[in-house]
Structure formats: C-alpha cells, structure tokens
Amino acid sequence: MNIAMQRLAKRAAHAGHGNRLRIAARLLLPLLLLEVALWAPLRVGILFGVAALWYVAYQLWQAAGTAHELGLGVRGLLQHSWMVGVTLLGSGLILATAYFTGTLHRLWGLQNPMLAVAGYAVWALVQEFMLQCFCLRMLRAMVSRVTALLLSGVIFAVAHLPNPSLTLVTFFAGVGFTALYARKKNLYVVALIHAVLGLTLAVSAPDAWFHGMSVGRDFDFAKTPPAAVAATMPRVR
C-alpha cells in the first residue's frame, strides 16, 4: 500500500513538474517576442510586438476568462477611481516641485505632445494587460503569491533594459502595479495610474536620471552628454 502511494505521489510530482514547464514556456514566448520588438528595427519591432499581443490575447481567449475575471469590466471603476485622483494629486505636487527646481520640461521635447500622451496611455494599458492578465496568471499557476509579485516586477523591469535607473524604478513599479491589480482586479485603474506616473516622470525628472525614458534600441540615442541634452530640451518656465 505504501509503495503504491509513493508511486502515485511520484507520478503526481512528475506531472506537476511537467505542467509547470509547459506554463513557463507559454509565459516566456510572448516575453521573448516583446524583447525582440523592443530591440529590433522599428518596422520589424512592430510586427513582433503585434505577435506578442496576439499570442497573449489568444491564450486568454482559450482560457475562456470573462472580462470581469480579467479586470476588464467597468464594475468597480468608479469605486476605485479615487486612487487615480490621489495619483493625480501626487503628480501635481511632483510637477510643482520640478517647476520650481528647474527640471520641468516638455514631453520628449515635443512642441505638441498630446498625441504622444494618448499613445503613452494606450501603451500603458497594453503593458498592464500583458503583465497582469497574462503574466501574473501564468506565474500564479507556478509559484506563490509573493513570488509572483516579485517576478512580475522582474518581468516589468527587464522590458525597460538597458536603461539602468528606469529598470530599477520599474521593478518596484511592477510589484506595486501587480499588487494593486491583484487586490482591486481593475485593469483600467492600474493602467491610468501607470500612465499618470510615467508621464509625470518623463517631464519632471532631470534628463540625466532616466535618459529620456528610452529603452531597447532607442537607448543609444539617450547617451548624449547631459549638458547637450539639456540644451536641446525646452524648459517650461
């Protein structure tokens, strides 16, 4: 009897190990596609980025998760909107500080940044969709809740390589965004907070700190000496 139970336990452990490997492979594929998208030439990168997003959406569709389960429902959006308000308040304080310290500048030096603001907001939603709806689910199927939170931060940070300071900040941001999503289950709130904080950082932090928020293939363009960058970035005074 004991021998039979031991055999069953070994088979279950082996099956569980094999299942985790399959889940890990499903998780790594879109992450690799996304990394290629960030590092390849722009036109090629767009194709790989679309492929990564399609793969994630297809996997979620196969899992037959509802919009509410994924945090894509509007239920609770108004209830949790106060968190966006608090984020906007904090953003205002940061912007005011940047104004009086002389570090406030136009978004990426653009004269008319509204299109870039809208694009970044959409990109924030796409990032959170991939991180929370897909990556977090895959991680939770393999590891504990705390480990999944930390690994979410690692995944988010890796997507911001090779920018050293931004990679460090996004690790903690990824952990925070994931914890918020896990608790509130509303992707829109998380994406809005992500967008507000990211845009605030982009216009208020000194240029030398985050190298124009550039990552992947674009990071080389941010290696201009800080003094030269500052000379080309119009200040808001």
Which pLDDT belongs to residue 67?
Answer: 79
160 found inside a domain: yes
Residue labelled with tokens 């308000």: 85
Range of the domain at 141: 68-232
Please provide residue 139's backbone torsions phi and psi, each rounded to the nearest 5 degrees: -65, -40
Which neighbouring-strand residues pair with 135?
none
99 found inside a domain: yes
Please provide residue 236's backbone torsions phi and psi, each rounded to the nearest 5 degrees: -100, 105
Which pLDDT belongs to residue 227?
Answer: 40
Number of domains in the chain: 1
Each residue's pLDDT, cut to its tens digit, for the chain (237 residues) gives 445 434 434 544 454 566 888 999 999 999 999 999 999 999 999 999 999 999 999 999 888 667 788 888 877 778 888 999 999 999 999 999 999 999 999 888 788 889 999 999 999 999 999 999 999 999 999 999 999 999 999 999 999 999 999 999 999 999 999 999 999 889 999 999 999 999 999 999 988 888 888 999 988 654 544 443 443 344 444
DSSP string, 39-65: HS-HHHHHHHHHHHHHHHHHHHHHTT-
182 found inside a domain: yes
- Helix (H) / strand (E) element for 95: namely helix 81-101
Distances (CA, A) of 136 to 62, 100, 179, 233: 16, 40, 10, 38
122 found inside a domain: yes
Q: Please state, in angstroms and rounded to a whole number, the distance separating the CA atoms of residues 126 and 21.
A: 26
62 found inside a domain: no
Which pLDDT belongs to residue 12?
Answer: 43
What's 122-149 look like in SS3?
HHHHHHHHHHHHHHHHHHHCCCCHHHHH
* CB atoms inside a 10 Å sphere around CB 110: 12
153 found inside a domain: yes
Please provide residue 114's backbone torsions phi and psi, each rounded to the nearest 5 degrees: -60, -40
Which pLDDT belongs to residue 81?
Answer: 87
Please provide residue 40's backbone torsions phi and psi, each rounded to the nearest 5 degrees: -75, 165
2 found inside a domain: no
215 found inside a domain: yes
Q: Please state, in angstroms and rounded to a whole number, the distance separating the CA atoms of residues 106 and 86.
A: 23
pLDDT digits (tens, 9 = 90+) for 12-46: 445 456 688 899 999 999 999 999 999 999 999 99
Residue labelled with tokens 């998780």: 27
Which pLDDT belongs to residue 25?
Answer: 93
